Structure 1
């Protein structure tokens, strides 16, 4: 897993280090006191889903195709605010059944910033420090929450660090962490005022930094390799010119991260 995070995840030295150590401790550090609950924050295309997949691939032989990997998208599975009670009841039942079958089940909740308020309060008793919940031991399970909330703060903090003449790799977790949780959890979304926050049930809040041209370049290389085509500087320049950047008029941070790179490379190839 450490190699996957270092070789395949670009521009996320803070997330790579934090995720690796939290996961290794949870899996290999003896019986955990409680489930591992990680909250990933940052804008689109910076690697949040990618890291979730890496975790699944290192826990299960079948990775995300394992029946013990459970993925929930707030815009699909919890789209109607009027049905919160129904969602909570069904979610609790599903989680209880899943962990009774596989104690190391992984649950990923995406689009947390679009999650209706209150739904995830049902997770509160499951993430507490306790041996069992209605006869089921949740302590070896893993919960991952993905959200764009806090992205503005992360980007601003990273920008200030870089324009101050400092190296990106010198930006530490403590430089971003101080106000990240407050910024992220005060935004509209499923974790705002949630019991998971008020009861301090989240193991760690992980920042994902905005991506710069050097990281997009690596994503272009990855896309060329996946497509089994020759990588070129023309290909890189085409993709860089096609993407949207911020601040406006600069090529500082990719607005969409690397999310659109694979398709942009495909379009470039069709023009040859």
Structure 2
């Protein structure tokens, strides 16, 4: 990542916390721009096109949830919500509004830096409205993009025994077909669902589907794993850019975040969770790809 990429916008109404965040991020090599309310923060994201944005939830004017939705309508910035509101519903609302991570106050600067580093190891999609174009309409569940839109690297979440940032290769059981929209690249196909990991494209029955970064990462890991069950903890670590080799702590909030992303993914794919076409739930364990027969 170049110095040009290390731009951050801080949206925080508490002046002391704002200064702390500026110090922490500037120590990490970021150029920072701060705002004391949601409306000004959204405009600064539009103006500076940051790689990273930190966002408070309780602010004057529009709150952090609404600010996140507006930001996601035009920006692919990595978005971290920082808030004293730690109820489960607040965490879920933050993730559904488009946040990449949700950290409770008071936070430890070292933990914040670690979370940022983990996020930025994950690939990013090319933003479809980075020029401020509002033509991208928010979805009813999660406002795109979380980041839809083209990421810098082709790394995919790895299995628990491997670094999560390693590129995921489809196992031999996967059905790989020639691509029709990505040059010479190969696609992984299952019952009308086609995924191109390197180009980060998803097609269902011939129609392209726009997913958030987290949704795509989960789908790519599950479809590449085929019938192997992926636990919620495994998937949560993968979303954080980690694995059981480098980390082992997964909170209940992390697991609930996986459930939210999977629910959003299923809605976008048009899948019924009770009669899944692609992703089946293994109760008490996690998720796996459905069997090849009975399309």
State TM-score, norm by structure 2: 0.24
Larger radius of gyration: 1
Larger helix proportion of the pair: 1
Q: Which has the higher contact order (CA 8 A, sep 6+)?
A: 1
